[in-house]
Amino acid sequence: MNPIRKKRNLFKIIILGDSGVGKTSLLNQYVTKQFSSQYKATIGADFMTKDITINDQQISLQIWDTAGHERFASFGTAFYRGADVCMLVCDVTVAESFEHLEVWRKEFISGGNPSDPESFPYVVIANKNDCEPANRAVSSDQLRQWCVTNGYEFFECSAKTGWNVDSAFTKAATLVAMRQKEVPQPEPLPSVQIDLQPDKTQSSCSC
């Protein structure tokens, strides 16, 4: 006898941040375990999928990589809707990319129109943690303070080496799973029993 297959849940993850912060590289590292140093701007949006298991729950992640350049960003907003969690990415070697995280969050709220913006989950990724200390423009304390103030999960990562990348995406999926458990499920509709047997008391007449 084949075991009963469990229902697989679909979680949509959206990745936002300035152009060049490494959004595509993070996605490729997480899904394919590969890294390319050649930069290619994302036009509009693209996505990859990955199946994972969290607390015995089978989950399919649909991860959307969006354009960070303002010339292409407007094409990506159409893909914000339906997202279950938003990952905000900055580059620790570029201070402006950190300063723009709040701008990206507001753009997501505007374009994605989540039902409950105040409780919507975010995960912040500070990418390029493998950089030389002298090239770092955003400190861990700055990142941590901003994330704690806003109630966001925070990970320093390296798309190049893969350090902490899995942990960041797993946390994003876990936040969605926890949030779904907190949402009250609708009560089932009352069942109605239908008797398909003919009424034996009904008389018949032949002409």
Residue written as token pair 């304390």: 141
Domain residue ranges of the chain, discontinuous segments joined by +: 9-182
SS3 122: strand
Rounded to the nearest integer, the mean pLDDT of the chain is: 84
Which residues make Cβ contacts (< 8 Å) with residue 12, sequence separation at least 6?
Answer: 62, 64, 82, 83, 84, 85
Least confident of 2-11, 42-51, 55-64, 191-200: 191-200
Quick one: pLDDT at residue 16?
95
Give the pLDDT confidence score for residue 15 in this predicted structure. Answer: 95
Number of Cβ atoms within 10 Å of the Cβ of 80: 22
- Structure token digits, residue 148: 């704690």
Q: What value does the mean pLDDT take over residues 181-199?
A: 54
pLDDT tops 90 at residue 28: yes
State pLDDT tens for residues 34-46. Answer: 998 766 655 556 8
Position 207 scores a pLDDT of 46
- Can you tell me whether residue 142 is helix, strand or coil? helix
Q: What are 112-158's pLDDT values in tens digits?
A: 999 899 999 999 999 999 999 999 999 999 999 999 999 999 999 99
Q: Answer for the pair 59, 8: CB distance below 8 angstroms, yes or no.
A: yes
CATH number for 9-182: choose from 1.20.272.10, 3.40.605.10, 3.40.50.300, 3.30.70.100: 3.40.50.300
Q: What is the pLDDT of residue 188?
A: 47
**Tens digits of per-residue pLDDT, 66-119?**
875 554 455 556 788 999 999 999 999 999 999 999 999 999 999 899 989 999
Beta bridge mates, 56: none
Closest CA to 62 of 115, 105, 15: 15
Beta bridge partners, 127, equal 91
Confidence (pLDDT) at 43: 52
**Mean pLDDT along residues 53-78:** 76
Pairing of β 9-17 and β 153-156: unpaired
Instruction: Work out the pLDDT band at 191, boundaries 50, 70, 90.
Output: very low
Window from 3-17, 37-51, 193-207 with minimum mean pLDDT: 193-207
| Percentage of residues of the chain with pLDDT beyond 70 | 75
Backbone angles phi, psi at 10, to 5 degrees: -105, 120
